[in-house]
């Protein structure tokens, strides 16, 4: 019994996807015979271009794009080939897709854009290149999470440090929930991220952090059994409370000046300060640093006083001995 046209098409598609995964050059023969197969998709909605990008098959990617393959074709989860290029940290594939007019601002079915994916996978090169191409850091997914939230949740100190070097005040991205980024670090039990955010005056335990308008202190009290004990103890400590209460962020920001850009974002660097200003800036950033010079000075004064008392005592003894002789 002869196969129907639809069965033949399904069989051909399965053959094509098998060939693309094996990087078999026979695929070009079939595509030349039927141009309609250029944008065919597998059972998960992934196209030939998706797989060619993922497998870094440069020749096939160029061939498909030259044959007018849809650079913005979406898979079953809403991801375009660009997402797959980012998932493999393949800068050249990002460059190729962008050259052929892919949409850099597409989002998938979770609201993630390509920049979100690069931070989730900790792909620094892809992140910088996407920023250079103009993809916004301020994008939020369907759960209202930005790349800062994801870096915090994943305990990614590199990205948290990077975001703090921008003058654009990215840590104030959540206006109604100023401590939302700290909240994500607590949810992810990201101890180092919690320390970094508090010690650098980037987030506060006293600000609103959750959708139901609770502060971090209230949240950790209600969810203590789910939170890393180290995080609980630190956020409840007098040191954390004091740092958040003092809030020296504006004073610290005043010590920096613009120093170039990455895409639309301005990078800052520390101003050239005098010795006295440097000392004062260190004091503003961390008052605990004053303990060391104070200890040294106290020890110096103590030793001098002891030495002076010792010398004076010896002089008195010598005078008494002389009087006894006479």
Rounded CA gap, 141 and 135, in Å? 14
Alpha-carbon span 239 to 247, nearest angstrom: 12
Contacts of 91 (CB under 8 A, 6+ apart): 125, 126, 129
Sign, Cα dihedral of 97, 100, 106, 109? negative
Angular region, 101: left φ>0, alpha ψ -120 to 50, beta rest: left
Task: Quote the CA–CA distance of 326 and 320 in Å, as a whole number.
Answer: 10
The whole-number pLDDT of residue 5 equals 46
Angle at Cα 146 formed by Cα 144 and Cα 147, nearest 5°? Answer: 155
Domains and CATH numbers, the chain: 1-136 (1.25.40.20), 143-268 (1.25.40)
Describe the chain by its helix, strand, coil percentages, rounded to 5.
60, 5, 35
Q: Which sign does the torsion angle of CA 301, 304, 310, 315 carry? A: negative
Q: What is the mean pLDDT of each run of 10 residues along the chain (326 residues)?
A: 54 92 94 93 96 97 97 97 97 97 97 98 96 94 96 96 84 88 96 95 91 94 95 94 74 63 73 59 55 72 82 72 60
Q: What pLDDT is stored for residue 286 in this prediction?
A: 56
| pLDDT on residue 321 | 64
Question: 78: which residues sit within 8 A by CB, 6+ positions away?
Answer: 106, 107, 108, 109, 110
Cα-based distances in Å from 173 to 50, 62, 251, 253: 33, 39, 20, 17
pLDDT at 313: 76
- Separation of alpha carbons 3 and 5, rounded Å: 7
């Amino acid at each position: 019994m002869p196969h129907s046209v639809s069965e033949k098409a399904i069989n051909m598609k399965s053959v094509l996807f098998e060939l693309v995964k094996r990087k078999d050059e026979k695929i070009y023969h079939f595509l030349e015979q039927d141009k309609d197969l250029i944008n065919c998709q597998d059972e998960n909605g992934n196209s030939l271009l998706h797989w060619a990008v993922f497998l870094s098959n440069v020749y096939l990617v160029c061939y498909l794009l030259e044959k007018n393959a849809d650079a913005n074709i979406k898979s079953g989860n809403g991801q375009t080939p660009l997402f797959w290029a980012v998932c493999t940290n393949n800068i050249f594939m990002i460059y190729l897709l962008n050259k052929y007019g892919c949409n850099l601002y597409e989002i998938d079915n979770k609201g993630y854009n390509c920049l979100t994916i690069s931070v989730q996978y900790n792909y620094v090169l892809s992140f910088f290149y996407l920023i250079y191409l103009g993809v916004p850091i301020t994008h939020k997914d369907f759960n209202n999470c930005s790349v800062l939230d994801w870096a915090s949740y994943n305990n990614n100190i590199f990205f948290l440090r990077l975001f703090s070097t921008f003058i654009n005040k990215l840590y104030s991205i959540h206006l109604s929930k100023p401590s939302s980024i700290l909240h994500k670090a607590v949810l992810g039990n990201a101890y180092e991220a919690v320390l970094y955010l508090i010690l650098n005056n980037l987030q506060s335990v006293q600000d609103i952090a959750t959708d139901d308008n609770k502060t971090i202190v209230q949240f950790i009290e209600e969810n203590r059994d789910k939170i890393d004990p180290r995080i609980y103890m630190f956020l409840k400590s007098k040191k954390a409370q004091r740092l958040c209460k003092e809030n020296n962020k504006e004073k610290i920001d005043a010590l920096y000046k613009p120093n170039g850009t990455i895409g639309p974002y301005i990078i800052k660097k520390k101003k050239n300060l005098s010795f006295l200003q440097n000392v004062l800036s260190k004091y503003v950033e961390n008052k605990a640093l004053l303990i060391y010079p104070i200890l040294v000075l106290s020890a110096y004064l103590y030793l001098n006083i002891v030495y002076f008392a010792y010398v004076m005592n010896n002089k008195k003894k010598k005078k008494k001995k002389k009087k006894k002789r006479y």
